[in-house]
Copies of this chain bind each other. A is one copy, B any other.
């Protein structure tokens, strides 16, 4: 196998991929279905049974675990982690009756910003923005925006602390044991610097 071939995307024979816009090194597993209008970046891992419908491009190095549906109007930036069976939505007023179905133009965009992680079986109500490097706890039900680096837990999800880029929780003075230090900005945090060089 040439180096070039090795860098291509891997598509499991039982996956259904209707687009050719899949980045190098991305893997798509069995029973996943990626629709024609979709674009997926490089180095992603698209788990078994994942359904991708969104017209927004999916960024690089994203991990989408088994059973997740990335509906139209869901936007995933780079290096986003979507845990197994996490659930997105795109219509806050869902009705099946043909008289009351809302056109897609009225659906709300959900935005998952760079580095964010959504825990297993979490639910994201449409219209929310999940901030950079935030962490939505397993089973949480997010009904509003989450700030950068904020940890949210529960139903409905509420802020419960802060997390570092590396994923660890921050101390009260907003330092991480990996050496990164933060300061408050807006409803979340921003990186201020690093104490040591040897952390990842």
Contact = CB atoms under 8 A, between A and B. Distances in A.
Contacts of A186: none
Interface residues of A, number: 56
A88 B140 CA distance: 14
B117 A94 contact: yes
A22 interface: no
> How many chain copies does the complex carry?
3
Interface string A92-131: 0111111110000000000000010101110101000000
A192 to B, nearest CB: 19
A62 interface: yes
A80 interface: yes
B16 A16 contact: no
Contacts of A61: 96-98
